[in-house]
Every structure is written in structure tokens, then in C-alpha cells.
Amino acid sequence: MVTIKALWRDGKTPQAQAANVGRIDDELLLLRDGRQYRYPLADIRLEAGVADLPDTLQLPDGGTLEVADRIAIRRLIGGLSWGDRSGHWLQQSWRALAGLALLASVVLWLGYRHLLPLAAGALAPLVPVPVEQALADSTLQWLDRSGATGPSRLGEARRARLQQQLQALLPDSRYRYRLLLRDATVIGPNAFALPGGTIIVTDQLLALIRRDDELLAILAHEAGHVEARHGLRSALQSSGLLLALSLITGDASSALLVLPVSLANADYSRAHEREADRFAYARLRAHGLSPCLLGYSLQRIEAATHPQATTDDNTPGSWFASHPDTAERSQPDGLRCPPRPD
């Protein structure tokens, strides 16, 4: 019988004793102090040594055997568990690790591009509309209290008209749209959507875009965010991403994840903007309006906020930007628009 050298400990005291192990049928044979001990193999647990550490056998009486010759003991006992085996295989072969790293990057890409947005898209509709509205109300209160927005000083008549036109643009929406005007010098000409059908338009935007059809295009884009529940989805996506990244990096500190998470969030945000743009184009078309209207109003905003910016049409968007660039958004579905009427 082949025997393997081992160190035996009783599990109650720290001393180790040299011993030999062998196997007879379904029993492990332990030879120490010139005596023989037998244990059924089924009661013995093999703890594989990680990297260069020895294997350990846990005996049913609380004793342990430390075995440096790992190949021999694994052959004797009859193999490792699935998890241990895969880890050890990768620990041995660089080629296997490289191959799996490639597979991992594919999984990572698929998860990031499709799985996470899909999961967020499936979960977001579970939140009922009243909850969304409550969420919007608390955000609104917070905005007003923070001083970023103040009461509007512009026309109520135009607001009511636009709200009506917007609701008419979206005949089968589950939301009742509520258009709010706010004075916001810090934010400038802008419009943003809150969950549940609330859209805030700044006085600055109202003053900048005099034509109702162009403003309606902006509102249709914001309604696109509301209909697709982008607010909830981004919250879900970014927390899912953070969770996945901290699971993957294991014990690494989460402060390291600031950069990748902010890059990914900006990327997800651009995807949402494109989705809202497509929604706006479709709604405008369905009502006999030109999809070019959105591009026109965006150009006006850009001209007002960045008067010195070059009108070079092919500057690539920044990785950190939350919106795609205006040149891209001025071509609905690749269409070339006629020049903006002034």
C-alpha cells in the first residue's frame, strides 16, 4: 500500500505529530505512534490548499491531517469539489486564465450593455404611478427649498396652452401631464422631467424659444423620459452597477469605483436621451409635425448657452457628457433637416 507523509493534530492542542496515510477500499488508514486508525472516507472532508499551501483533511473526531504532497492525497481521496477544482486549474494555467478573462470581458460587456438595462426596464414598471408622483413632489419641494428654482414670472396662458397640447400629443398615456414654470437663473434655459408626469420648464427656456411647436418638441422629449421611466431606471442601473462592481473586486475599496461608475452612468444617460429623442420624433410625426423641430430648439439653447462654441458638425461627444451632441440630435433618424427658420 502507498502511504503519504502527513502531520497529524488532534484539534485540541497545537502540537503536530508525523504520521502516514493510506487507503484500503472505502477507508482511510492513519498510521501514527506505531498504531493504526481507520476512518470511513465518506466522513472525511478535504480542504484544498490555496496556491502553495498544503491540503488539510478534516477527520470526524476533530483531528486534522496536513499533507504537503497535494497531488498524491487528492488522488488517494478521489478528487476535489467543483469550485476548488476550477480555481486550482486556473491557478495553474496562464492560458486558461487568459481565455476565461476574455470570456469574462464578454460577459461584462453583455451585462453592462443589455442585462442591466433589461433588468432595470423590467423592474421599473413595478413601481405604481402614485408612488412616482409622490417622488416627484418631494424632488420639487427640495428644488424650491434649495433656492435653485423660484416662482415663475411669465405667462400662465402659454403654460396652460402647452400643457393641453402636450396631453393631446400623447393620447394613450397612463400619466396626466403637469407642466410647471420656474424661474431658474442658475440652471438657465432648460426643461426636465420628474417621474409621474411632472415637467418643469424654466422661464429662461420659455423666453428663448418663442415658437410653440419647437417648445412642444422639447416637451415631447421630456415626456419620453417620463413614459420610459428613465429616472427610476437610472437609479436602478447605477445601484446595480455599484453592487456588481463591488462584488467583482471583492475586498477592494469602493472609492476606487467612482471613475468607472460615473463613466457608465454618463453612458447610460446618453442612451436614455437617445431613446427620449426617438420617442419625440415619433410623437411629432404622428401629429403631422416635423421631427426637425427638436433639433431647432436644441440649437437655439446651445447658441444661447455656448455662444463661442464652434459649429463644427463632427466633434465626438465626451465620455463624461450626459447628453449626445446637438449635431447628432439635429438629424432625426439620419434625416437631413432644412435650415432653421428664424
Partner 1 sequence: MNQRDLHPTPPGGKYVLPFAFTASTRAYYRLWLVNMVLTIVTLGIYSAWAKVHTQKYLLGHTTLDGGRFDYHGKPIAILKGRLIMLLALAAWTFSESLPLLHAAIALLAVAAAPWLGVLALRFRLANTSWNQMRFHFSGSSADSYKAFAKSWALLILSLGLAWPWATQVKQRFITGHSALGQARLQLQPCSGALYRAALGTALAAVCYLLGTGIIGGLIWQTATLSGFAHGIAVRFGEAALTQLDIVFFGMTSALWVMATLGYARMAISRVLINHTTLQLATLEARLVWSLPTRQMLGLHFSNALALLLSLGLAWPWIRIRTLRLQLQSLSLLSSSDLSALPLRTSLNRLDDARGDELAELMALDLGW
Q: Judged by CB under 8 A, which of 3, 20, 64, 163 binds partner 1?
A: 64
Asked whether 20 and 4 are in contact (CB, 8 A), the reply is yes
Q: Judged by CB under 8 A, which of 21, 46, 80, 132 binds partner 1?
A: 132
Q: Does 135 bind partner 1 (CB under 8 A)?
A: yes
Q: Does 255 bind partner 1 (CB under 8 A)?
A: yes
CA distance linking residue 221 with residue 169, whole number of Å? 11
Q: Does 91 bind partner 1 (CB under 8 A)?
A: yes
Q: Judged by CB under 8 A, which of 20, 317, 324, 327 binds partner 1?
A: 317
Q: Judged by CB under 8 A, which of 2, 118, 252, 286 binds partner 1?
A: 252
Minimum Å gap between C-beta 154 and partner 1 is 27
Q: Does 307 bind partner 1 (CB under 8 A)?
A: no
Q: Judged by CB under 8 A, which of 249, 285, 286, 313 binds partner 1?
A: 249
Residue placing its CB nearer to partner 1 in the complex, 100 or 154? 100
Residue 308 vs residues 300, 301, 304: alpha-carbon distances, Å: 13, 13, 10
Q: Judged by CB under 8 A, which of 24, 122, 160, 248 binds partner 1?
A: 248
Q: Does 303 bind partner 1 (CB under 8 A)?
A: no
Burial class (CB in 10 A: 0-12, 13-18, 19+), 6: buried
- Cell readout for 214 is 419647437
Main-chain phi, psi angles of 266, to 5 degrees:
-65, -40
Q: Judged by CB under 8 A, which of 24, 122, 207, 256 binds partner 1?
A: 256
Identify which range of 182-190, 245-253, 276-284, 289-297 contacts partner 1 by CB under 8 A. Answer: 245-253
Minimum Å gap between C-beta 255 and partner 1 is 4
Q: Does 140 bind partner 1 (CB under 8 A)?
A: no
Task: Specify the long-range contacts of residues 103-107, CB closer than 8 Å, at least 24 apart.
Answer: none
Helices (H) and strands (E) in the chain, counts: 12, 11
| Cβ partners under 8 Å of residue 30, min gap 6 | 8, 19, 20, 21, 36, 37, 38, 39, 59, 65
CA distance linking residue 40 with residue 24, whole number of Å? 10
Asked whether 59 and 65 are in contact (CB, 8 A), the reply is yes
C-alpha neighbours within 13 Å on the C-beta side of residue 284? 26
Q: What residues line the site for partner 1 (CB under 8 A)? A: 7, 9, 11-16, 47, 49-53, 56, 58, 62, 64, 66, 83-84, 86-87, 90-91, 97, 100-101, 103-104, 107-108, 111, 127, 131-132, 134-135, 138, 235-236, 239, 243-244, 247-253, 255-256, 258-259, 262, 266, 306, 309, 315-321
